[in-house]
Amino acid sequence: MIATVARVMWLALLRDRGALMLAFALPPLLFLVFAEVFSGAGDSDLEMRVAILDEAGTPLTGRITDAIAGLDGIVAVSDGSARGVVRVADLETLVRQGQADAAVWLRAEPDGNLDAEPPVVVVGDASRALAAAVVTGRVQRVLQAEFPALGVARAASLVDALAGPYTDEQLEALDLALSELDAEALEDEDGDTSQDGLVEQRLLGGGREIDDGVSYYAGAVAILFLLFAAMQGAISLIDERNSGIVDRLVAGPGGYTVVVVGKGLFLTLQGLAQATLIFAVAWWLYGLDWFGHFGPWLVTALLAAAVSAWLGLLLASLCSSRQQAQTASAFAVLILSAVGGSMMPRFLMPGWLRELGWFTPNAWVIESWHGIFWRGDGAAELAIAWVVLLATALGAMSISIWLAHRLAREK
């Protein structure tokens, strides 16, 4: 009897070619996507977008700028103007808006003066502190590997301060040694030359009352579960088709289109309620300034819920069986969430995958909510994201209604 039950289920799967393909073709594809997303999260593999400002403008800082820009995994970015980045405020704007993962500011020429402020400043956003730490480490390594004389000069200054001034002969010998020292002397990046005091890390937005990641992960979790709930709720369309309920609904006022629109409205309101619960917890336990940004939050929440609802209904309309819909919906949500940043911040992904994330609703929703609560973005800054989400929802709704009309004609 046990074998018979298993055989019946296997035959049912074989007859449903769509479910068969989804059950055995999608898992390897999902693995490939997740492997690409998470395998690039190591320090040596991360591709960082970095804005560089050489405020000192000396030959040495120019060489340091070129060395940093030429590093593997560093993509130099600018503000798009003809002059490029010319002010520290420009650097901070690029970092705050997420156009650069971090920025490097060469405010003075590095020398052996231990009393001066660090000449190199890495500017990052507190919500992406890991990116600033990675860039800081790479800048320190390039200074050590290609400009070893800087570390030796500072070490010599420290000895001079602790043990007394050098004699004239010692100063001449030190100058000669520094002039002859080059990168070949320290090809090993694990060398002993210290670059302490040359590089300072500065985080924008730090010291706030809320944890730096709360606004990001509240949005990331919200859109993830909005999609899951909408996909599962939309499967009722398939149950109605298979049970014959559609035949009676088509004969009613408005036809089957009214039913589809009604389901879309319910799933939208359900998604809004879910988002409200998540952000209420963030406000209650973590001090998120929810009510202070309630207007922009509400618009984004409505659009996120609508997009989730109509994408779920569209997917259900395209599937012919519950098994197909369940497998396809799980696959779609996992892919959208992984690529869109719900599972891992997108700045940790390879560059091409980071750009691909803009084709997911997750990326637009997460960036909108994060911008509202972290950067204080208003309607002007959020307009593009709102238009994209609205267009996606309307497009999915139009196709779903068209499929409903076609189904009604077939009935």
The DSSP line for 240-287 is: HHHHTHHHHHHTSTTHHHHHHHHHHHHHHHHHHHHHHHHHHHHHHHH-
Residue 49 in contact with residue 77, Cβ under 8 Å? yes
**CA 40 from centroid of its chain's CA atoms:** 13
Predicted local distance difference test score (pLDDT) of residue 235: 87
Residue showing tokens 């939309």: 234
Q: What are 324-353's pLDDT values in tens digits? A: 888 888 888 988 998 998 888 888 887 788
Predicted local distance difference test score (pLDDT) of residue 184: 46
**CA 320 from centroid of its chain's CA atoms:** 34
Predicted local distance difference test score (pLDDT) of residue 155: 53
Predicted local distance difference test score (pLDDT) of residue 326: 83
Low-confidence ranges of the chain (pLDDT < 70): 1-5, 7-27, 29-45, 79-86, 111-116, 148-196, 206-212, 243-255, 407-411
Global confidence as pTM? 0.76
Predicted local distance difference test score (pLDDT) of residue 153: 57
Residue showing tokens 């190591």: 42
Residue 252 class from Cβ within 10 Å (0-12 exposed, 13-18 middle, 19+ buried)? exposed
Separation between Cα atoms, residue 364 and residue 228, nearest integer Å: 17
Is residue 202 classed as helix, strand or coil in its secondary structure?
strand
- Closest to 214 (Cα-Cα) out of 347, 378, 374: 374
Separation between Cα atoms, residue 314 and residue 321, nearest integer Å: 14
Q: What is the maximal distance between C-alpha atoms in the chain?
A: 104
Predicted local distance difference test score (pLDDT) of residue 192: 38
Q: What are 112-135's pLDDT values in tens digits? A: 565 668 888 999 888 788 888 889
Both tokens assigned to 311:
């994408």
Q: Domain spans of the chain?
A: 17-39+210-410, 48-204
Predicted local distance difference test score (pLDDT) of residue 358: 94
Is residue 114 classed as helix, strand or coil in its secondary structure?
coil
* Whole-number Cα distances in Å, 42 to 39, 46, 47, 352, 380: 7, 6, 10, 16, 36
**CA 32 from centroid of its chain's CA atoms:** 19
Both tokens assigned to 373:
């609560």
Separation between Cα atoms, residue 175 and residue 192, nearest integer Å: 20
Predicted local distance difference test score (pLDDT) of residue 183: 43
- Closest to 51 (Cα-Cα) out of 39, 31, 65: 65
Is residue 133 classed as helix, strand or coil in its secondary structure?
helix
**CA 71 from centroid of its chain's CA atoms:** 22
Residue 112 in contact with residue 153, Cβ under 8 Å? yes
Predicted local distance difference test score (pLDDT) of residue 13: 60
Predicted local distance difference test score (pLDDT) of residue 17: 62
Residues in Cβ contact with 187 at an 8 Å cutoff, skipping those fewer than 6 apart: 145
Residue showing tokens 């920025």: 103
Tell me which CATH code domain 48-204 carries: 3.40.1710
